[in-house]
Every structure is written in structure tokens, then in C-alpha cells.
Structure 1
Amino acid sequence: MRAFRFVTVDVFTEQRFGGNQLAVFPDARGLSDAEMQALAAEFNLSETTFVLPPSDPHNTARVRIFNRVAEMPFAGHPNVGAAYVLGREDEEAHRAYRFEEPAGLVEVALERDAEGRVIGAEVAAPQPLRVGAELPARIAAACAGIPEAEVLTLRHAPTLASDGGNHRLLTEVTPAGLAAAAPDLGAFRRAVADFPSETRGFLSLYIYCRDGAKVRARMFSPLTGTWEDAATGSAATPLAGFLLRLGGGSEGAWEIIQGAEMGRPSLLLARARRLADGYRAAVGGRCVPVLRGEAVL
């Protein structure tokens, strides 16, 4: 029998049982791909993270992220949570980490309190903003289970966007639409079937409403088993880049509240800059430890 240590943390929150849950295996050496996927399914969280030695010794670690059904090229809260766990286990660690992931090299900076204790982290998206196809407002509305009139298209149509992770359908909605949304699995399946080239067989919906620099958001990805996500860093970063692109500025910052409707309120601090290679974004927040244990295989 083999034992593998794990830690669970709540990410993008300062209160236990808020934010987005994450399981982190700080030393995943010896686990096969199939075992990592099975453990992610067993934890039944939106993502589970496995830390391995880097292929390049100049980097900190190789990090693999699995949702319930597949490995992900990049995700936000797993990087924030993994860096937090590693930083708490070695308080003398460097201020920043470099993680090797399928989407590219991911840089994560630790956040410390006045006493130097690690309390959170900020992750930079590994790629600049990539804006994909627009989908009809009726598709986004159907997936969200709200009337089409609740989808706002004055600033932009529902737009697929990413910056290293899975693409998200960024959709601005009314406050009433945000509150009433409930994902329709059948609508998601029909959208993927009706727009195969645009969605590439996958669709997650990120709806939001704005109040200046403050944003309220919800994310639905039922095709991967995540009915609703409490905090989605890999949606917050493309949203930040996309909003900056829409506004035409050189930099911007947004406070994003997510998860409130689930009873797991999260605060994500997203920022974006316009650089020579495009719009680059980062997202950060606090973390809280919850559980420790071993998986025995």
C-alpha cells in the first residue's frame, strides 16, 4: 500500500468554508495519470492539484490540475492554493514560484501578512488574452436558464475567451439575470452540438454584472461536472483582459465577487495590463487551510 499526503484549502476567501475548495497533493511522485484522475473524481471538487518535481531545475515544480473528468492546461484557484500550501510548509520559501503546466510557465507570487506569514497568492495567466467567437445571446440565456432579455449586448455579445485555460463564454447580464440563473444541462449540450467549431466540444458559461470596478459573477460548467463554481480564477483573468480591451485603457483592476449564491462567497482581485504581446492578466486572493490527510492506494 502507498500513502500520499494531501491538504485541502479554501481559496479566494478569509473564512473557512467560504471560497473555492481545493485538494493539493504536495508530493505526487509515484502517482500515475489514471490515479490522479481517479483521486480528482473521488474528491469531487472542481479541481485537484498534484505537485511534482520540475523538468527544468530553474523552475519550482511541475503542477498538474485535474477536474472531475480530465486534466486542465491551467486554472486559477489551483495555482493560488498550491502556492499557498507550499509556502505555508516552507515559510522561508521565495516570494514567487514558477510552475510548469501544459499551458506554459505559470508565475505565482505569495502574499504575506505583517508578520511574514503566507496568507494567499496571486497567479499570472500564462498566455495573453485570446478572444474567440461570439455566440448568440439566446444561447447564453438558454444555458443560464434566464430570459434572453436578461443578457446585455450593448457592450459586447457573449464571447468566448481564454488566456491559457479552458475558454469561457463571457456574458454580461442584468443583476436580476445573475440572481435567477440556473444552468440547463440540455442547453449546454445543444450549444456544443450546434456550434462545434466555435466551442471545440466544450463550454463553460461565465456571467457577470458590473458596478464600476466591482463585478459580481457566476460560472457554470456542467459538462465537466461543475454545476456551479464558487471562484474561477481562469475566468477572472480573461474577463479582466477583455474588460480592459473593451475600455481601451492600458491597465485596470477589478474586485470580483463570486460564489455568494452558493453560500461560499469568494473575493478575487483581478488586474490586467496592455503589453506588447497583448492583454496580460493576473488574479489573487487569500486562502484558509481546512483538512490534512493521506490517500492510501
Structure 2
Amino acid sequence: MRAFRFVTVDVFTDRRFGGNQLAVFPDARGLNDAEMQALAAEFNLSETTFVLPADNPQHDARVRIFNRVAEMPFAGHPNVGTAFVLGQEDEDSPRLYRFEEPAGLVEVALLRDGAGRVTGAEVAAPQPLSIGAVLPVATAAACAGIPEAAVVTARHAPTLASDGGNQRLLTEVTPEGLVAATPDLGAFRRAVADFPDETRGFLSLYIYCRDGAAVRARMFSPLTGTWEDAATGSAATPLAGFLLHLDGDEDGAWDITQGVEMGRPSLLLARARRRADGIRASVGGRCVPVLRGEAVL
């Protein structure tokens, strides 16, 4: 029998049982791909991370991120939570972690309180903002289970965007539409079938309403088993970059509240800035440890 230690944390919150849940295996040496996927499915969280030695000794670790059905190239709250766990366990933890991931090198800066204790982290998206195809209002509305009139198009149509992770369909909605939204699995499947090239065979929907720098958001990804996500860093960063793109400013910051309708309120602090290679974004927040244990295989 082999035993592998794990920690669970709530990410993008300052209290237990809020934010987005994450399971972290701080030392995943000895686990194969199939076992990592099976463990992620067993935890049944939106993501589980597995920490391995870095291929490049100048980097801190290789981090693999699995959702319930597949490995992900990058995700926000798993990086924030993983850095938090590693930072809390290491008294000599660096200010900045460099994680090797399929999407590229990911930099995660630790957040500390006045006494120097690690309280959270901020992750920079590994790639500049990439704006993809526009999808019909009818498609976005059907996926969200809301009337087409609840989709706001004054600033932009539903638009696919990413910055190193999975594409998100960014869709502005009315406050009433945000509250009423209920994902429709059949509509997601039809969207992927109707737009195979644009969606690349996968679709998740990030709906939001905005009041200046304050944003309320919800994220649906039923094709991966995540009917709704409490906090989605890899959607917050392309949204921040896209909002900066629309505003035309040099930099910007947004407080994104998510997970309220799930009873797991989360606060994501997103920033974006223009750089020579495009618009770069980051997202940060606090974390809280919840459980510790061992998986025995």
C-alpha cells in the first residue's frame, strides 16, 4: 500500500466553507497519470493539483492540475491554493513560485499579513490575452438558461477568450439574468456541435454584470462536471484583460464577486495591464486550510 498526503483549502475567501475548494497533493512522486485522474474524480472537486519536482532546477515545481475528467493546461484557483499550501509548509518559502505547467511557466506570488504569515497568493496568467470567436446571443442565452433579452450586447457580443487556460465564453448579462441563470447541458452540447472550430470541442460560460470596478460573475462548465464554479481564476484573468481591451486603458483592476448563488461567496482581485506582447492579467486572493489526510492506493 502507498500513502500520499493531501491538503484541502478554500480559495479566494477568508473563511472556511466559502470560496472554491481545492485538494493539493504536495508530493505526488510515485503517482501515475491514471491515478492522478482517479483521485481528482474521487475528490469530485472542480480541480485537484499534484506537485512534482521541476524539470528545470531553476523553477520551484511542476504542477499538474486535473478536473473530474481531464488534465488542464492552466487554472487560476489551483495555482493560488497550491502556492498557499506550499508557502505555509515552508518557513523559507520564496516570495514568488515558478510552476511548470502545460500552458507554460506560471508565476505565483505569495500574499502575507503584517506578521509575515502566508494568507493567499496572486497568479499571473501564463500567456497574453487571446480573443477568439464571437458566438450568437441565442447560444449564450440557451447555455445560461436565460432569455436572449438578458444578454447585454452594448459593449460586446458573447466572446471566447483565454490567456493560457481553457477558453471562456465571456457574456455580459443583466443583474436579473445573472441571478436567474441555470446551466443547460443540452445547450452546451449543441453549442459545441454547432461551432466545433470556434469552441475546439469544449465550452465553459462566464457570465457577468459590471458596476465600474465591481463585477458579479458566475461560471458554468457542465461538460466537465462542474455545473457551477464558486471562483474561477482562469476566467477572471481573461475577463480582466478583455475589459481592459474594451476600455482602452493602460491598466485596470476589478473586484470580482463569484459563488454567491452557490452559498460559497468568493472574492477575486483581478488586474490587467498592457505590455509589449499584449494584455497581461493576474488574479489573487486569500485562502483558508480545511482538511488534511492521506490517500492510500
Secondary structure at 1:281 match in 2: strand
Q: Aligned-residue CA RMSD in angstroms?
A: 0.3
Secondary structure at 1:272 match in 2: strand
Quick check: 1:91–1:117 contact (8 Å CA) kept in 2? Answer: no
Aligned equivalent of 1:188: 188
CA distance in 2, matches of 1:237, 1:205: 14
Aligned equivalent of 1:77: 77
What TM-score, normalized to structure 1? 1.00
Aligned equivalent of 2:128: 128
CA distance in 2, matches of 1:17, 1:96: 27
Query: Which amino acid in the other structure matches residue 178 of structure 1?
Result: L
CA distance in 1, matches of 2:109, 2:263: 28
1:5: Cα distance to partner? 0.1
CA distance in 2, matches of 1:178, 1:203: 18
Q: Which runs of 5+ in 2 are unaligned?
A: none
| Runs of 4 or more consecutive aligned structure 1 residues displaced over 4 Å after TM superposition | none
Equivalent pairs, count: 297
CA distance in 2, matches of 1:163, 1:131: 9
Secondary structure at 1:216 match in 2: strand
Identity %: 85
Aligned equivalent of 2:162: 162
Query: Which amino acid in the other structure matches residue 43 of structure 1?
Result: F
Quick check: 1:252–1:273 contact (8 Å CA) kept in 2? Answer: yes
CA distance in 1, matches of 2:276, 2:90: 36
CA distance in 2, matches of 1:247, 1:91: 42
Aligned equivalent of 1:274: 274
Secondary structure at 1:290 match in 2: strand
What TM-score, normalized to structure 2? 1.00
Quick check: 1:91–1:118 contact (8 Å CA) kept in 2? Answer: no
1:91: Cα distance to partner? 2.5
CA distance in 2, matches of 1:234, 1:255: 15
Aligned equivalent of 2:104: 104
CA distance in 2, matches of 1:98, 1:181: 37
Aligned equivalent of 1:236: 236
Secondary structure at 1:234 match in 2: helix
Secondary structure at 2:164 match in 1: coil
1:225-259 superposed Cα distances (whole Å, 9 cap, x missing partner): 00000000000000000000000000000000000
CA distance in 2, matches of 1:114, 1:213: 26
1:92: Cα distance to partner? 1.9
